Amino acid sequence: MLHTTVSPDLIFQIEKSFYIEGEQKWMLWRNQTNEVQQHFVAQAEQILQAIQKNRPSLEFSLPEKVVLVDPCTHAYREEIIPARYRRQTIGRRLFQRGNSTLSIVLQRLSDLQSSAHLSLSLSANILRYWIARLWLNQLPEGEALPENKGLNPSSEARPEVQRYFPEWLLFNSNGEPLFSTKAEAEQSIHAIEATLQSLLSAMAVDPTIVEEEAFRSRYMTLVTQMVEQGRAYCEYLTKSILSTIRKRQSQHTLNRGLSIHLPYFDDQLLEIRYLDLEVVPPGRIAFEEVFLIHAIQRAQESISKNSKLSLSTRQHILEELKLMETSFSDCAPYSPVGALSPYYRRIKPPISGDTSQNISESKI
- The predicted pLDDT at position 159 comes to 53
How confident is the prediction for the chain on average, in pLDDT? 81
Asked if pLDDT for residue 14 goes beyond 50, the answer is no
pLDDT band at 160 (very low <50, low <70, confident <90, very high): low
| Percent of the chain's residues with pLDDT above 70 | 78
Q: What pLDDT was estimated at residue 253?
A: 84
3-state SS of 276-325?
EEEEECCCCECCCHHHHHHHHHHHHHHHHCCCCCCHHHHHHHHHHHHHHH
**Is residue 12's pLDDT more than 60?**
no
pTM of the prediction?
A: 0.77
pLDDT of res. 327:
87
135: nearest Cα among 205, 189, 73, 186:
205
Q: Strand 271-280 vs strand 344-346: parallel, antiparallel, or unpaired? A: unpaired
pLDDT tens digit string along 193-226? 999 999 999 999 999 898 889 999 999 999 999 9
Q: Has residue 106 got a pLDDT over 60?
A: yes
Q: Among the listed ranges 45-49, 117-121, 154-158, which one has the minimum average pLDDT value?
A: 154-158
pLDDT at 8: 46
Query: Terminal CA-to-CA distance of the chain, rounded, Å?
Result: 59
Band of the pLDDT at 339, cuts 50, 70, 90?
very low
Q: Which of 186-190, 237-241, 338-342 has the lowest mean pLDDT?
A: 338-342
Residue 354 has a CB neighbour count (10 Å cut-off) of: 9
Position 353 scores a pLDDT of 42
Left, alpha or beta for 255 (phi > 0: left; psi -120 to 50: alpha)?
Answer: alpha
Confidence at 164, pLDDT banded by 50, 70, 90: confident
> What is the identity of the amino acid at 184?
E
Residue pLDDT, tens place only, 297-321: 999 999 999 999 999 999 999 999 9
- State the average pLDDT over residues 63-77: 86
Instruction: Find how far residue 202's CA is from the centre of its chain.
Output: 17
Q: Which of 48, 80, 74, 62 is nearest to 206 (CA)?
A: 48
Residue 342 in this model has a pLDDT that exceeds 70? no
pLDDT of the residue at 321: 95
Whether the per-residue pLDDT at 69 is higher than 90: the answer is no
Helices and strands: H and E segment counts in the chain: 10, 10
Pairing of strands 258-266, 271-280: antiparallel
SS3 81: coil
pLDDT higher than 80, residue 270: yes
Can you tell me the mean pLDDT for 265-291? 89
pLDDT at 156: 46
Look at 224 and 145; give whichever has higher pLDDT: 224
Residue 351 has pLDDT above 50, yes or no: no
pLDDT band of 92, cuts 50, 70, 90: low
Residue 54 region by backbone torsions, left for phi larger than 0, else alpha for psi between -120 and 50, else beta? left
pLDDT digits (tens, 9 = 90+) for 52-62: 999 988 999 99
**CA distances from residue 17 to 13, 129, 207, 356 in whole angstroms, order as listed:** 12, 16, 11, 88
Q: How high is the pLDDT of residue 158?
A: 54
23: confidence class by pLDDT, cuts 50, 70, 90: confident
Lowest mean pLDDT among 84-88, 103-107, 282-286, 353-357: 353-357
Q: What angle do CA 223, 193, 130 make, to 5 degrees?
A: 85
